[in-house]
Chain A
Amino acid sequence: MRNPWAQTGNYRTSYEQDTSIFANYREAVSVALLLVALCILPMFLERSQVLVLNFILIYAIAVLGLNITTGYAGLISVGQAAFMGVGAYTVALSAPSLPFWLTVPLGGFAAAITGFIVGIPSLRVKHLYLALATLAFQEIFVWVVGRSPALAQGAAIPVEMRNFLGLEISFRNHNYFWYYVILFVLVLVVIAWRNLLRGKYGRALIAVRDNDRAADAMGMDPGRTKLMAFALGAFYGGVAGGLLAYMQRAVVVEEFTLGRSVALLAMAIVGGLGTVVGSILGPAFIEFLRLYVERLSEWMKSNAFIQSITPAGVDVASALLPLSFGLVIVLFLVFEPRGLYNWWRLVRSYFRNWPFRY
């Protein structure tokens, strides 16, 4: 038998091996080391920096869901923020009477049921028409929340958790506590994602995406597969929304508008559609880009020379942020449609083969 630690490639000889979660031991160890690093990372960060990580991890969960619906099943959805909203409002309404480890999955299930219903048009329409159906749901969600006194008509519903198993949660440890909770949930949903996609349901998603009539001829049920894709994607969104509600201490409808849905889609595209790594790299890239452009913008504003060369009345520094976002998305679509995942794959294969070129 080959030494498993000396593998330089995949030597899969059976179906079981082909469907394993990790390709080799090295990959398993790398993931374990990454998790350890993520666990100790907050020790070196300020509270507000941990907050940024929390947002990245929450968006990663939502983007993973979007990657099931759009990345794997090929069903364009611009309603992921609304699914997050369904989860968040479910959490807001149930949090006074239930513990968070029940409310968050409950939010996911509520979103999944909604996703199942929203997915029904996917049985009849495809592509841009389906995108319009999800867009309609996104707008209907905001409309319904805005007219529901039970949901404070879109204004804030507080979601506070002050105590967990005797641990007092205050401003000082709020971000740290939720970081570990969100990380734990992310690990769970990633495992579930990988588990789903290595089985027959995952392959059915790909088959239906590539050609639903051929998939039907091969004994798969395209309708059920599409509805399942919508429900699962929405479940991930609902869980992300529930966590966001706790992390932000309140739910307001402005968090779940079309702009957020488009941002999530942009994160999925930048990260690389249909990949776990891309689902995490995309949100991280967009959030860090926002941070660094913001700093650059502030530096430009305070720099007398830059201010002196820009025309009067033109605020270049403020325009930098929206400009850079648009530019990044367009550049990725044109030059690297496979997203950051492809860069990650190239770097990994370089080190795998090092010192040999091939």
Chain B
Amino acid sequence: MKRVIVLAAAALLGLAMAQGRTVNLLWSGAITGPTSDVGGPYGAGIEDYCRYANEQKLIPNVTLNCSVRDDQYQNPITQRIFEEALDRAKPAIYLGYSTGAMLQLKPLINEVKIPTIPASAHIGLIEPPNNQYMFLPVSSYSEQVVALMEYINRTSKNAKIALVVNPSPFGRAVVDHARRAAQRLGQTIVDVREVGGGNLDNTALLRAFDAAGVEFIIHQNVAGPVANILKDAKRLGLDRKIKQMGAVYTGGADLIRLAGDAAEGYLWASSYYTLDENTPGINLQKQLAARYNRSADILNQLHCWDAGCGYCSGGHAPGCPAL
């Protein structure tokens, strides 16, 4: 079914190319409000890539009309923006953002048949029901965590693992899949802790893990809380005893900036190239940032930029993850 939808979208684009017309694309995300440190650069990436695509005429006879809207990380606003777009300039593709809003909009998206690529990689978005029009451009959070567990299994059999997850649907998404993977791999999930921002002292958490014989901590979180745990582990001398690793939003430039030396040895599962890699997509990213006078902070949110170019070019831009 999904293949048919992708083919239909490609056919529509082909038709648009033949006729020389405007194709509407909608992005909504948190330019302000919670997670705007990620959402702002993401929106900027979409704006820039659309501008670039139109200037360079990357799609012959097609002008992209990219609407970038701020939903302030509020589900009612996301719903309004999406419905406004349906009323006024029906988008060919909708690029969504937060886990909660995307899960909430899932039935509506399925009903109106708009192919949607969310920034969230929550596995529930592509699970039935109402999943025909949801596409994850990268591996899901659950797959990333399971991949880390499989990696652990290659180096250490019957490992004792603790999960530290964000106190939200985004964080909890991985727990069930991790438990099933642990059963399959003969590992033990010793503890699952929910840790959000403001975890300024993690001594008790780390001591408890140590006492329980935890060998590995897997994080499904954002960089801030992970950085604090890494720094505390280093302070307590547990950084060599307990190996830490995590899924996409736990790592990257943010983690290095926040954790400094304590990030040494942290293993990061990511579907994206990093800014210091020499790939055509990353180079294009740097080129666009220079062309449109974007700050280094925006450029550093590399995964957003990659997802941005993935969006506009159907996931086949060099350096971007394939769909």
A-side residues, CB < 8 A to B, are: 46-48, 51-52, 55, 146, 152-156, 158, 160, 170-171, 175, 248-250, 252-255, 290, 294, 297-298, 312-313, 315, 318-319, 321-322
Complex Cα spacing A143 to B108, Å: 28
Chain A residues, Cβ within 8 Å of B183: none
User: Which residues in window 86-110 of B have CB below 8 A to A?
Assistant: 86-88, 98-101, 103-104, 106-108
Quick check: A160 and B107 within 8 Å, CB to CB?
yes
Which B residues touch A249, using CB under 8 A? 104, 107-108
* Known interface pairs A154-B169, A156-B124, A321-B72; A250-B83 also in contact (CB < 8 Å): no
Bound CA–CA A248/B102 (angstroms)? 12
B103 touches A47 (CB 8 A): no
B119 to chain A, nearest CB (A): 15
B129 located at the interface, meaning its Cβ lies under 8 Å from any Cβ of chain A in the complex: yes
Which residues of B169-203 have CB atoms within 8 Å of chain A's CB atoms? 169, 172-173, 194
Known: A156-B100, A156-B104, A318-B32. A146 touches B72 (CB 8 A): no
A248 to B69 Cα, complex, angstroms:
20
Whether B169 contacts A318 by the Cβ 8 Å rule is: no
Binds A, one of B48-56, B74-82, B134-142: B74-82
A294 near B70 with CB under 8 A, answer yes
User: What residues on A are CB-neighbors of B99 within 8 Å?
Assistant: 155
Q: Name 28 interchain pairs, CB-CB below 8 A, sorted by A.
A: A46-B88, A48-B86, A146-B167, A146-B194, A152-B169, A155-B172, A155-B173, A156-B103, A170-B111, A171-B86, A171-B112, A248-B104, A250-B103, A250-B104, A250-B107, A252-B75, A252-B104, A252-B169, A253-B100, A253-B169, A254-B100, A254-B101, A254-B169, A255-B75, A255-B100, A297-B70, A298-B69, A321-B72
The answer, yes or no, to whether B153 is at the interface (CB within 8 Å) is no
User: Most chain-A CB neighbours within 10 Å: which of B33, B83, B111, B172?
Assistant: B83
Given the interface contacts A153-B169, A171-B108, does A46 sit within 8 Å of B87 by beta carbon? yes
State how many residues of chain B have any CB contact under 8 Å with chain A: 41
Question: Nearest CB to that of A159 among chain B residues?
Answer: B107
Instruction: Assess the B32–A321 pair: CB atoms within 8 A.
Output: yes
B40 within 8 A of partner (CB): yes
Q: Residues of B contacting A175 with CB < 8 Å? A: 83
The answer to whether A154 touches B168 (Cβ under 8 A) is: yes
Name which residue of chain B comes closest to A301, CB basis: B68
Min Cβ gap A146→B in Å is 6
- A contact residues around B75 at 8 Å (CB): 248, 252, 254-255
Residues from chain A with Cβ under 8 Å of B122 in the complex: 155
The answer to whether A153 and B76 touch (CB under 8 A), given A146-B167, A250-B103, A321-B32, is no
* Apart from A248-B76, A318-B70: 16 A-B pairs, beta carbons within 8 A: A46-B84, A47-B87, A48-B84, A51-B83, A154-B172, A158-B106, A171-B86, A171-B111, A171-B112, A175-B83, A252-B169, A253-B169, A255-B100, A297-B70, A315-B40, A322-B32
Residues of B within 8 A of A154 (CB): 168-169, 172
A146 to B175, CA, bound (A): 12
Main secondary structure of the interface of B (DSSP, over half): helix
Bound: A156/B104 CA distance, A: 6
Contact with A along B134-170 (1 / 0, CB 8 A): 0000000000000000000000000000000001110
Are B100 and A47 in contact (CB-based, < 8 A)? no
Most A Cβ at <10 Å: residue of B31, B70, B76, B295: B76
In the bound complex, CA of A154 to CA of B99 (Å): 11
> Which residues of the other chain, B, contact A156 by a CB distance below 8 angstroms?
100, 103-104, 106, 124, 169
In the bound assembly, the distance between CA atoms of A66 and B76 in angstroms comes to: 20
B130 at the interface (CB under 8 A from A): yes
A246 → chain B closest CB, angstroms: 12
Q: Which residues of chain B are within 8 angstroms of A146 by Cβ–Cβ distance? A: 167-168, 172, 194
Q: Is the CB of B80 within 8 A of A51?
A: yes
A349 to B103, CA, bound (A): 48
Q: Which A residue's beta carbon lies closest to that of B169? A: A155
Contact A252 B194 (CB under 8 A): no
Inter-chain contacts of A51 with B (CB < 8 A): 79-80, 83
B129 near A158 (CB under 8 angstroms)?
Answer: yes
Instruction: Report whether B106 and A250 are in contact in the complex, using a CB–CB cutoff of 8 Å.
Output: yes
B83: which of A47, A255, A290 is its contact (CB, 8 Å)? Answer: A47
Please report the C-alpha to C-alpha distance between residue A51 and residue B83 in the assembled complex, in whole angstroms.
8
Closest A residue to B298 by CB, please name it: A313
- Return A159 CB to nearest CB of chain B, in Å: 9
Q: Which of chain A's residues has its CB closest to B72's CB?
A: A321
Q: How far is the CA of A204 from the CA of B318 in the complex (A)?
A: 71
Shortest beta-carbon distance, A56 to chain B, in Å? 11
Query: In the complex, A254→B122 CA distance in Å?
Result: 15
Known: A154-B172, A160-B107. A52 touches B80 (CB 8 A): yes
How far does the Cβ of B68 sit from chain A's closest Cβ, in whole Å? 9
